[in-house]
Amino acid sequence: MKNYKFILSGGGTGGHIYPAIAIADALKEKYPQAEFLFVGSQDRMEMEKVPNAGYKIEGLWIAGIQRKLTWSNLMFPFKLISSLFKSAKIIRRFKPDVVIGTGGFASGPLLEMATRYNVPTLIQEQNSFAGITNKLLAKKVQKICVAYDGMQQFFPQEKIVKTGNPVRQDLIFIDQNREAGLAKYALKPQKKTLLILGGSLGARAINKLIDHELQFILDQNVQVVWQSGQLYFEEYKNHSETEHVQVLPFIDTMNLAYAAADIIISRAGAGSVSELALVGKPVIFIPSPNVAEDHQTKNAEAIVEKDAAILLKENALEDCFEETFKQLIEDEDRQKVLGTNFKKIALPQATQQIVNEVEKLLKQ
Q: What is the DSSP string of 21-67?
A: HHHHHHHHHH-TT-EEEEEEETTSTHHHHHHHTT--EEEES--PPPS
**Domains of the chain and CATH, by start:** 5-166+348-362 (3.40.50.2000), 170-345 (3.40.50.2000)
Q: Which residue has the higher pLDDT, 354 or 43?
A: 354
Q: What is the pLDDT of residues 282-291, one digit of tens each?
A: 999 999 988 7
Binding-site residue numbers for UDP-N-acetyl-alpha-D-glucosamine are 13-15, 127, 168, 200, 251, 296
Q: What is the DSSP string of 77-126?
A: HHHHHHHHHHHHHHHHHH--SEEEE-SSTTHHHHHHHHHHTT--EEEEE-
In 181-286, DSSP assigns E strands to: 192-197, 222-227, 245-248, 263-266, 283-285
Q: What is the pLDDT of residues 295-343, one digit of tens each?
A: 899 999 999 999 999 999 999 999 999 999 999 999 999 999 999 999 9
Binding-site residue numbers are 13-15, 127, 168, 200, 251, 296
pLDDT in the model for residue 233: 94
Q: What is the pLDDT of residues 37-65, one digit of tens each?
A: 999 988 888 888 899 999 999 989 876 55
Mean pLDDT of all residues in 3-16: 87
In 147-271, DSSP assigns E strands to: 160-162, 192-197, 222-227, 245-248, 263-266
Mean pLDDT of all residues in 216-241: 96
pTM for this prediction = 0.84
State the DSSP code for 174: G
Yes or no: say if 111 and 88 are a contact pair by the CB < 8 Å rule.
no
